Chain A
Amino acid sequence: MRGWDLGDTRMNDTSANPRGGALGDTLFRGASLVAALTVLAVLGAIILMLVKGSMPALGKFGFLHFITSAEWNPVTEQFGALSPITGTLVSSAIAIIIGLPVSFGIALFITELCPVWLKRPVGTAIELLAAIPSIIYGMWGLFVFAPFFAEHIQPLLTATLGRLPVIGALFEGPPLGISVFTAGVILAIMIIPFIASVMRDVFNTVRRELRESAYGLGCTTWEVVWKVVLPVTRAGVTGAVMLGLGRALGETMAVTFVIGNSHDLNTGLFWPGNSIASTIANEFTEADGEIYTSSLIALGLVLFLITFIVLSLARIMLIRMSRQDGAKS
């Protein structure tokens, strides 16, 4: 990185050459800067709209009350966001818990184990999962996966994990197949290709010499991946997970079909629940009255805040990890 920065001065020195560098450089740099600023402007405008729109509701209920109250009653106009916030966090957490190990496995398979002729087909196939639009996941989830889940997987989980102390309580609920857990599973399937394909690309960037020297020292394939490839690519892997988590937090259509859309809070993951995005999708068109609409926009604002916090935490962790590395070496 530093090398390129030094290169910078060298480039400026040569920019006066007859091939017309200076003007081109200024223009190109300017254009890319404008593009980058546009990204900021778009988010700025969205947040401005969200803040402006959520003022009536937050003014009435107070921010703290809004995010800690579980009451959601359009008739009496009492709104609290606790249930959708919980649903969003829990379903995304389930998605990462299931999706991360699977994605890692897939990336490992493709980069280290897979015979060369199979690499491309498998990689493409996994990426195709990402190509499938979320509304199709939603329809498939509602009409195919949820009944299957309710009939076969849920009783199995209740009978096994449900018996465990403490966490057992998580695995209970009516046999509908429509639940926060189902939403988490479908989210996991949706984010696996994102995480896996970025992980694969990142693993592939690790230089061959590094791998080969590890193998030369007698490392097993697993050790090469776990102790050489993964530490080198940690930043990229975290980026991949963030990409997946980002998608899971804001996913709308697929979740709306299978999460059950109930504003009740339950310990059991097999109960119908709600997420922020699905609440907005369900109720935005029909929300009449300023406070109702404003509460839904406030939910959107809360989702932005959650994303902000999650991403900040991830970044802090990343920085801490790289510091530890520095200390060790």
Chain B
Amino acid sequence: MNLYARRKLLNVFNLTASVLATAFGLFFLVWLLWVLFARGFAHLDPALFTHDMPGPGSEGGGLRNAITGSLMLTVLGVIFGAPLGVMAGIYLSEYGRGGWLAATVRFVSDILLSAPSIVIGVFVYEIMVAPLGGFSGWSGAVALAIIALPVILRTTEDMMLLVPDTMREAAAALGAPRWKVITRVVLRAARSGVMTGILLSVARISGETAPLLFTALNNQFFSLDMSRPMANLPVTIFNFAMGPYDNWHDLAWAGSLLITLVVLGLNILTRAFLRGGNQKG
């Protein structure tokens, strides 16, 4: 076989493999979604949002309290985690570049990223729940923030490093102080990437179960009190999926479908929003 034919063959073979790889990934997505829809869609009705968790053996019921709780925990987790993560990412990419401190922080953040979430739950339990004498929504939000932090940090840094230095230099040459260069030019250029990081972190924490087990706990009743145990979807899904009752199983699948749909919707909405923003800018 001559060189050209071989190169062509290799090209075709590898590109086919790449198409197959994509198909493989999409196949699992479709499979998962299909299972979620098949088992959860029938129960994705208004009652899911207007009724609280049913007791064992009770008919019907919904997940109103868990949905509300999860929303509050996730939003607060991101509010705690995102500013820290973005600022730390800014430090790594703008100030600490090449220094030992930045290298250490980057390394530490990678380790945090792979810390088992249950250990983080135990940690927050030790520093917040036990000393304060009670499970609370606040401690749940803190645990989620610790999980979100390295995800946001890493993406922020990566994305800001992608902004070419010529842009920084151009802005600096115009006389802008450094913090303005960073916030108005670099962060602006990297914002879709930074947003992606924050979204990834939302995706990651919205379904985290293990860290909430020892912090927010769960609540079978509706409660907005962040200083008390807080109902949340993941722990509810876990309890209901492992429970013996059919309507619990149905609600667990409906809840799973709901989380997945919300995260998908969030993804698409933010993308649309970002695209609009970019065109204006």
A interface list, Cβ under 8 A from B: 1, 3-5, 7, 10-11, 14-15, 17, 19-22, 24-25, 27-29, 31-40, 42-43, 45-46, 49-50, 101-106, 108-110, 113, 120, 122, 124-137, 139-140, 144, 189, 192-193, 196, 198, 201, 205, 220-223, 226, 236, 239, 242-243, 245-253, 276-277, 280-281, 284-285, 297, 300, 303-304, 307-308, 311, 315
Contact = CB atoms under 8 A, between A and B. Distances in A.
A14 B172 contact: yes
A140 B30 CA distance: 13
Contact of B111 (A20, A31, A307): A307
Given A36-B91, A220-B8, A131 B264 contact: yes
A25 B108 CA distance: 26
Interface string B163-175: 0011011001101
Nearest to B114: A246
Interface residues on B, range: 35 or more
A126 B24 CA distance: 10
A39 B154 contact: no
Q: Is the interface of A mostly helix, strand, loop or mixed?
A: helix
Contacts of B127: 45, 49
Q: Which of B15, B181, B267 has the most chain A CB atoms closer than 10 A to its own CB?
A: B15
Nearest 9 interchain pairs by C-beta: A133-B207, A105-B21, A21-B177, A246-B114, A35-B87, A28-B179, A32-B91, A220-B11, A277-B116
A109 B179 contact: no
Q: Which of A21, A103, A132 has the most chain B CB atoms closer than 10 A to its own CB?
A: A132
Given A36-B92, A38-B84, A1 B98 contact: yes
B116 A303 contact: yes
Contacts of B105: 36-37, 39-40
7 contacts: A1-B165, A19-B175, A39-B108, A46-B123, A136-B207, A246-B114, A315-B107
Interface in B1-58: 7-8, 10-11, 14-15, 17-22, 24-26, 28-29, 31-32, 35-36
B88 A38 contact: yes
A113 B91 contact: no
A308 B18 contact: no
Contacts of B115: 46, 250, 303-304, 307
